[in-house]
Chain A
Amino acid sequence: MNIYQEELLDHYENPSNYGTLPNPDISHQEDNPLCGDQIRIDLLIEDNIITEVRFCGHGCTISLAAASMLTEKIEGKSLDEVKQISKDDILDMIGIPLGPVRLKCALLALKVLKAGAYGITSWPGEEDE
């Protein structure tokens, strides 16, 4: 069994919500200095609900597929619900075991989202450390 499952490759090749928004309420971008991956997320918010989301950037399969999956998950959700999304939720979405280096790839999009929306700057899963 390859770690590069069909679902991940599909998201990598045809990512959902790829692009930017012209007048986003929130726009945030970060790099993963370890491998140079870069992700930006734009959000439109109405009554505390994420009505539209786009992401763009470059990176490996894991980081871009995770970003694509995350944007699907958060559209239409409230900011309070989105704040609850955890490292484990992302790992469940990815569905394959990841070593510590690739873990950062998977979590980059969530980190960007939480930094942009809530000003949380730590890596997901390391908030209490």
Chain B
Amino acid sequence: MHTAHFRPLDVESIRKDFPIFATEPPLAFLDNAASTQTPRPVVEAMDAYYDTYRSNIHRGIYRISEEATEQYERAREKVAELINAPRSRQIIFTRNTTESINLIAYSWGTENIREGDEIVLTVMEHHSNLVPWQLLAQRTGAVLRFLEITDEGLLDFTQLQDVFTEKTKLVAMGHVSNVLGTINPIQSVIDAAHAVGAKVVVDAAQSVPHFHVDVQQLDCDFLAFSGHKMCGPTGIGVLYGKLDILEEMPPFLGGGSMIRSVERDVSSYAELPAKFEAGTPSIAEAIGLGHAVDYITQANLAAIHVHEQELLKYAHNRLQEIEGITLYGPSAPHQKAGVISFNIDGVHPHDVAGILDTHGVAIRAGHHCAQPLMKWLDVIATVRASFYLYNTIEDVDRLSEGLCRTQKLMTRRKQ
């Protein structure tokens, strides 16, 4: 999304960091919107923790515990830099995007949402940015309202004025749709939400890994994403929040690390970020995430975005040649991130995925944790291919050839 100068990606040398691509023919891994592969430097950083300074963080009065604490906090600083958070203590480590959003819903939501208040979502939300708000609405008597989308799969802006009112207390919205790939104009939504006094949660699980996101520029109140979709390990996610909001929020989980002092009946709580990190956290995973941030930053996020756009344009052209294919989402690749959802007429998405798998192409078929969107599209499921920095034109060719063969095999006698 940036126009800064950068070197194009050296995909060939990037792929050497991923042993999973060393087979011949290489795995065509096109399920990156679900989870990405892990490069050696990330695995090596986690190995170094386990092999040389494995210990718990924060209270150890010995060298390797100090080292672990330092590396864990260094990871927090790297994440803060990545999204331009003013202070590293605004970065809370969680398990994943889902936990980050649940943290907001329980801690901030229970304190601030009252009966009759309105929470605005869109019909394209992932279940992780829908179900926590349903639960909050059930607990508080708040009302969920939905922004609809156009036939193209773009946010329908004409309804903003009707939906955003003084009753709107919270807007929770995906930055990029995990099904359609739509890049939502969140800046305009955030400005409109703030104009009526609402807070905004951005589900950035599909954006932070793929292009530069600046929380100060966006002025969002909360932002959540996962490590495992950006070359990091599973089990580590991030919640960013504005400082004054996080400071006023009550704790989410109680336990060790999140306290200042504990009496029999009451406790006082630690400062940020410890207040929200009860118990021993995912130490190796946080360190791994820090190195994943280094990895994608060194590759250059602007270059990653351009690379994915090229793959997307090429895939759009190749896939449109396939008989009976329906592509979902915006037709203009520049309105999309590297996600392409489709169906082949008369072929069940699971059969498409099953046949592609026998050709060494990994794609996802199903409802993609977005059942309301499936209903809106009037389909049971879709097939989805999604790209990352290590994918190649050859991967797209193999997808496209596999789809042609699938189409012929499954509809051979119907013509």
Contacts and interface: CB of A to CB of B under 8 A. Distances in A.
Interface of A: 2-4, 9, 13, 34-36, 58-62, 101-102, 105
B409 to A, nearest CB: 6
Nearest to A35: B350
A118 to B, nearest CB: 28
Given A35-B349, A58-B348, A101-B350, 18 more contacts: A2-B355, A3-B355, A3-B358, A4-B351, A4-B354, A4-B355, A4-B409, A13-B413, A34-B366, A35-B365, A35-B366, A35-B380, A36-B380, A60-B351, A60-B354, A61-B351, A62-B351, A62-B354
Closest 5 CB pairs of A and B: A36-B380, A60-B348, A60-B350, A60-B351, A61-B351
Contacts of B349: 35, 60
A102 B413 contact: no
A13 B414 contact: yes
Interface residues of B, number: 16
Most buried by A among B354, B355, B358, B413: B354
B410 interface: yes
B78 interface: no
Nearest to A105: B350
Interface string B361-372: 000011100000
A101 B351 CA distance: 12
B380 A3 contact: no
Contacts of A60: 348-351, 354
A62 B414 CA distance: 18
Contacts of B351: 4, 60-62
Nearest to A36: B380
A58 B348 CA distance: 9
Contact of A35 (B358, B381, B413): B381
Contacts of A13: 413-414
26 contacts: A2-B409, A3-B355, A3-B358, A4-B351, A4-B354, A4-B409, A4-B410, A9-B409, A9-B410, A13-B414, A34-B366, A35-B349, A36-B367, A58-B380, A59-B348, A60-B349, A60-B351, A60-B354, A61-B351, A61-B354, A62-B350, A62-B351, A62-B354, A102-B350, A102-B354, A105-B350
A116 B413 CA distance: 34
Contacts of B367: 36
Interface of B: 348-351, 354-355, 358, 365-367, 380-381, 409-410, 413-414
Contacts of A101: 350
Nearest to B371: A36
A9 B413 CA distance: 10
Contacts of A2: 355, 358, 409
A13 to B, nearest CB: 6
A58 B367 CA distance: 16
Nearest to A38: B380
A13 B409 CA distance: 11
A58 B351 CA distance: 13
A61 B348 contact: yes
B351 to A, nearest CB: 5
A78 to B, nearest CB: 34
Contacts of A36: 367, 380-381
A2 B355 CA distance: 8
A38 to B, nearest CB: 9
A88 to B, nearest CB: 21
Contacts of B414: 13
Contacts of B348: 58-61
B199 to A, nearest CB: 34
B414 to A, nearest CB: 7
Contacts of A3: 354-355, 358
B413 to A, nearest CB: 6
Contacts of A59: 348
B367 to A, nearest CB: 7
A7 B350 CA distance: 18
Contacts of B350: 35, 60, 62, 101-102, 105
A46 B354 CA distance: 40
B374 to A, nearest CB: 8
A60 B414 CA distance: 16
Nearest to B405: A2
Contacts of A61: 348, 351, 354, 410
A15 B409 CA distance: 17
A101 B364 CA distance: 12
A102 B354 CA distance: 9
A3 B359 CA distance: 11
Contacts of B354: 3-4, 60-62, 102
A62 B367 CA distance: 19
Nearest to A102: B354
